Structure 1
Amino acid sequence: MAGHETHYILPRPAFDKPVKLLIVVAPYYKDIADNLVAGAKAEIEAVGGTWELVEVPGALEVPIAIAMADRMCNFDGYVALGCVIRGETTHYDTVCNDSSRAIQLMGLQGACIGNGILTVENRPQAEVRADPAAMNKGGGAAAAALHLIALGRKWGASTKGVGFKPLSESIQLADKGNGTPTA
């Protein structure tokens, strides 16, 4: 295996109010999934957050469960976990692309999701990426969700400055000179 390139990791965000995340995992490869979950839990707990865990049959069901929870529950963010190992058919491409696309679309609609669904060529690649003592991709996915939650709280609390405001707060219509607004 080639050496690991080093990269910058953002410092953990700080929260003045508690955060609660939903970890959604597809335990198809149970040992790999367990390591991903362990990394995610540790990262969430390191910022004083709490979590709930649900299991779904496969990677394609992960975004569906997140979408359901986002509509029905009150979580601050989500951690998507699972592992897809390339096989002999094109099913690998479908699962990787569709699960990733669904997660990305929900994120673009405002859900704070860290994507830790591994897409690898073989089991050894998955094992090193899932291991909390190695690449810790579960922890990385939780960290991504936490950073998005922090941004949402920062920008959601903003009440002045740049950006658009509703018409009633930012624009006064001119009048005809007699106190009657123009149409």
Structure 2
Amino acid sequence: MASAEAHTVLPRPTFDKPVKVLIVVSPYYSDIAKGLLTGAKAELDAAGATYDVVEMPGALEIPTAIGISDRRSNFDGYVALGCVIRGETTHYETVCNDSSRALQLLGLQGLCIGNGILTVENKGQADVRADPAGQNKGGGAAAAALHLIALARKWSRETKGIGFMPRGEDTLMAGNPGGNTTT
């Protein structure tokens, strides 16, 4: 059974501009997914965030869905929700490791992702972790995404001043047909 040790919960971040989050959930174990989703939605609602929900067949598709969304939409952050329960084959390790690694790589690229994909030995462990009145791992994943969004906004600027920046219209650029010329 899951440990009931107390842990620190950070205060919910506040935002001066609207926050839009995509929740990507796998309903493979629908009752577990429902609990995770309920917890995540409640946390996002409490923070005043808006969200959309998309479903994917399994945990392995969740990072791909987030990557596609990041390239083609305008979400501030993402919440990944699902459950992988150990079975009789090594497929469990593959799904756990690959989905987690892919989410981590997306995060290292700058995406704000709360990982709520449960990796458990049995359904009883999943039930405790998914229960919004229990360990509320869905709410915890949403909170993690919100904290990452707050951090990204804290350190963002209109321009970062990295690389070459044009100085203005009087700057000559190579390959600029019809640009300013001097005689």
TM-based fold match above 0.5? yes
Please, what TM-score do these two structures have when normalized by structure 1?
A: 0.86
- C-alpha deviations, 1:114-162, integer Å up to 9, x for none? 0000000000000000000000000000000000000000000488xxx
Residue matched to 1:146: 146
Residue 71 (str. 1) matches residue 67 (str. 2): no
Q: CA RMSD in A?
A: 1.6
**Structure 1 residue runs without a partner (length 5+):** 170-183
**Runs of at least 4 residues of structure 1 off by over 6 A?**
none
Determine if the alignment matches structure 1 residue 126 to structure 2 residue 126. yes
Against the structure 1 CA distance between its residues 22 and 167, is the aligned structure 2 distance closer, same or farther, given a 3 Å change threshold? Answer: closer
What are the equivalent positions in structure 2 for 1:37-76 lying under 5 Å apart? Answer: 37-76=37-76
Distance in 1, matches of 2:7 and 2:111, equals 26
The residue number in structure 2 matching 1:14 is: 14
Which residue of the partner structure matches residue 155 of structure 2? Answer: 155
**CA displacement at 1:167 relative to structure 2:** 5.8
SS at match of 1:23: strand
The count of corresponding residues between Structure 1 and Structure 2 is 165
Alpha-carbon offset, residue 166 of structure 1: 3.0
1:63 partner letter? P
Match of 2:169 in 1: none
| Pair 167,61 (structure 1): closer, same or farther in 2 beyond 3 Å | closer
Return closer, same or farther for 1:15/1:92 CA change in 2, 3 Å cut-off: same
TM value normalised by structure 2:
0.86
Q: Secondary structure at the match of 1:156?
A: coil
Question: Once the two structures are aligned, what percentage of the paired residues are identical?
Answer: 72
- Partners of 2:60 and 2:95 within 8 A in 1: yes
Contact 2:2 2:128 in 1 (8 A): no
Contact map agreement 2:114 2:141 (CA 8 A) in 1: yes
* One-letter code aligned to 2:37: V
